[in-house]
Structure 1
Amino acid sequence: MWKKGKPKADLQRFSGKTSVIAAGAELVGELRFQGAVQVDGRLQGNLIAADGLVRVSIEGQVEGEIRAPHVILDGEVIGDVFASEHLELGARARVRGNLHYGLMEMAMGAQIEGRLCPVKEAPRPLELPASVETVQ
């Protein structure tokens, strides 16, 4: 009812472009991707996406930095998170690191050991339209 008109980034939006680190799997190293990644297992390294979605499920664990426009956390992250557009923390999210975000949603029960750092756009200087001439 309340979220009816609110657009959300989810794995369905990236259908056909979704990668999964399965439960029980462990990946060591940096992962760069386009689309979406769901972490159900363990990743030791950084997750980086210029355009995409990272989802860490309840059983998922990431030890490293996460950089993506959209990040949904329900599991554990040990490292900084950079979500330039949207960051969602579920009730079972556990983060040890700083959170940098454009917009953040946080459910009751989420745990954070770090700083909350909203990403603000740089102030733009006031410019006159090209059709306005200076008066002497």
Structure 2
Amino acid sequence: MFRSDKRNDRAVAAISTLIAAGTTIRGDVHFTGGLHLEGVVEGSIAAEGADAVLTLSEKGRVVGEVRVSNAVVNGTVNGDIFAAERLELAGNARVSGNVHYKVLEMAAGAQVNGKMQHQADAPRQLPSPTIADIDADDVEAAHA
């Protein structure tokens, strides 16, 4: 009755594209919405839109770079992964490449052979100094 479902908090897009088991695509894949991959992609995968989600099943495989906002990986990726928002590595995930993420959830059994790098938000620009912030010594040093 008062049960909380963790999946309600996640960014979830409806699956609009399916690459089924037994299918191999040689070339790059660009998508919006949700992509469920059970087959093989030999090329890069790129998502357009902040709500895009890649779901890689246990049977799925990618040989190339993955650039998405959100991803759930339970298969094999031979290449770097760039997840702008959220990356979930399920228990059968096998990644041979570097992983760049903002938020990471990694289950027991998932394997990454590469660097794990957190991508923080872009640093804010510092305000320009005002006249009051400049010392007379700084002015003299600049003219010397």
TM-aligned CA deviation for residue 9 of structure 1? 2.6
Comparing 117-126 with 75-84, greater Cα deviation is found at 117-126
Residue 97 of structure 1, CA deviation: 0.5
Using a 3 Å threshold, how does the CA distance of structure 1 residues 39 and 5 change in structure 2: closer, same or farther? Answer: closer
Counterpart amino acid of 2:27?
Answer: G
Which one-letter code corresponds to 2:109 in the other structure?
A: G
> Hey, what does 2:103 align to over in structure 1?
103
* 1:4 Cα deviation after fit: 4.3
Is 1:9 aligned with 2:11?
A: yes
When the two chains are superposed, the root-mean-square deviation of aligned CA atoms in Å is 2.3
Separation in 2, partners of 1:25, 1:53: 20
Structure 2 distance, partners of 1:116, 1:72, is: 16
Point out where structure 2 has 5 or more consecutive residues left out of the alignment: 133-144
Per-residue deviation, residues 3-58 of structure 1 (Å, max 9, x unmatched): 64861133xx325xx11110011111001111111110111001101221111100
Identical counterparts, % of pairs: 37
Quote the Cα distance in structure 2 between the aligned partners of 1:27 and 1:5: 30
Query: Where does the alignment leave 5 or more consecutive residues of structure 1 unmatched?
Result: 129-133
Q: What is the one-letter code of the residue matched to 1:109?
A: G
1:91 maps to what in 2?
A: 91
Distance 1:34 1:94, change over 3 A: same
1:1-136 superposed matches below 5 A: 4=6, 7-10=9-12, 13-15=13-15, 18-51=16-49, 52-127=52-127
Distance 2:84 2:123 in 1: 17
Report SS of the residue matched to 1:120.
coil
Aligned-pair CA distance for 1:116: 0.5
Q: Which has the higher helix share?
A: 2
**What amino acid is the match of 1:30?**
D
TM-score by length of 1: 0.84
Question: What residue number does 1:131 align with?
Answer: none
**Count of residue pairs brought into register by the alignment:** 128
Q: Which runs of 4+ in 1 moved over 4 A?
A: 1-6
The alignment's TM-score, normalised by the length of structure 2, stands at: 0.80
1:54-88 superposed Cα distances (whole Å, 9 cap, x missing partner):
11100000001111100110000000001000000
